[in-house]
Amino acid sequence: MAGAFVRMTDLDLEGKRVLIREDLNAPVKDGRVTSDMRLLAALPTLRSAVEQRARVLVLSHLGRPKEGVFDAAFSLAPVAARLAELLERDVPLVADWLDGVDIAPGDIALGENVRFNPGEKANDSSLAKRMALLCDVFVMDAFATAHRAEASTSGVAALAPVACAGPLLAAELEALAAALENPRRPLVAIIGGAKVSGKLEVLQSLAARVDELILGGGIANTLLAASGVAVGRSLMERDMLKFAADLLAGKFGKAAIPLPTDVIVGPNLEPDARGQLKKVREIGPADMILDIGPETAEHYAERLQRAGTIVWNGPLGVFEHPQFAAGTRRIAAAVAESHAFSIAGGGDTLAAIEQFGVSERISYASTGGGAFLEFLEGKPLPAVEALKARSGAAS
Ligand code: 3PG
Ligand code: MG
Categorize the per-residue pLDDT at 197 as very low, low, confident or very high, splitting at 50, 70 and 90: confident
Nearest 10 degrees: Cα torsion 153, 159, 164, 169: 10
- Secondary structure element (H or E) that encloses residue 20, with its range: strand 17-21
How large is the average pLDDT for residues 283-300? 98
Does 27 contact ligand 1 (Cβ within 6 A)?
no
Mean pLDDT of the chain: 95
Question: Which one is catalytic: 195, 233, 306, 379?
Answer: 195
pLDDT 10s digits, 296-320: 999 999 999 999 999 999 999 999 9
Q: Which pLDDT belongs to residue 3? A: 54
Under the phi-then-psi rule, with left for phi > 0, alpha for psi from -120 to 50, and beta for the rest, what region is 346? left
How many CB atoms sit inside 10 A of residue 81's CB?
Answer: 15
pLDDT 10s digits, 128-164: 999 999 999 999 999 999 999 999 999 999 999 999 9
Is 392 part of the annotated catalytic residue set?
no
* Distance in angstroms (rounded) separating the CA atoms of residues 353 and 314: 11
Q: How far is the CA of 368 from the centre of ligand 1 (A)?
A: 8
Is 347 part of the annotated catalytic residue set?
yes
How large is the average pLDDT for residues 366-377? 92
Categorize the per-residue pLDDT at 198 as very low, low, confident or very high, splitting at 50, 70 and 90: confident
For residue 125, pLDDT beyond 70: yes
Q: Which pLDDT belongs to residue 394? A: 43
For residue 393, pLDDT beyond 80: no
> For 21-25, 194-198, 225-229, 361-365, which range has the lowest pLDDT when averaged over its residues?
194-198
Q: Pick from 310, 271, 263, 303: which is nearest to 287 by CA?
A: 263
